[in-house]
Amino acid sequence: MVLGFAVAAASAAELPTFRLVFKPDGRFEPQRLEVPAGKFKIELINESDQPVEFESLPLRKEKVLGPGVRSFVVITISGRRIPVL
């Protein structure tokens, strides 16, 4: 079990990575992400003092981050265009 987690973590570290920052005033940056088809990682950073939620219904991904928390989601998409944000 521990080995599987280590392999998954190493694999996620090597993926193309895009950053999404949740700001204290309720905005997020960038406001739009353009990503290539395939597998990639979005690093989520909550700079606010409130919990925030990353949610994409088309991608079926959801993550709640507490104040000051950093996390990531790994997403795989085909060549079709899907709005992530």
Q: Is the pLDDT of residue 81 over 70?
A: no
For 25, the domain range is 2-77
The structure tokens listed for 58 are: 């088309």
Cα angle at 64 between 46 and 80, to 5 degrees? Answer: 95
- How much is the pLDDT for 69? 97
Domain count, the chain: 1
Q: Is the pLDDT of residue 5 over 90?
A: no
Would residue 82 count as lying in a domain?
no
Q: Is the pLDDT of residue 7 over 70?
A: no
Asked if 42 and 72 count as a contact pair (C-beta separation under 8 A), the reply is yes
| Nearest CA among 84, 81, 77, 85 for reference residue 15 | 77
In this prediction the pTM is 0.74
Would residue 47 count as lying in a domain?
yes
- The secondary structure of 24-68 as a DSSP string is TTS-EESS-----SEEEEEEEEE-SSS-EEEEETTTTEEEEE-TT
Residues 6+ apart with CB under 8 A from 25: none
Residue 8 confidence class, pLDDT cut points 50, 70, 90: low
CATH code (residue 24): 2.60.40.420
CB atoms within 10 A of CB 52: 19
Would residue 39 count as lying in a domain?
yes
pLDDT digits (tens, 9 = 90+) for 35-69: 888 999 999 999 999 999 999 888 889 999 999 99
Would residue 83 count as lying in a domain?
no
Decide which of 8 and 74 is more confident: 74
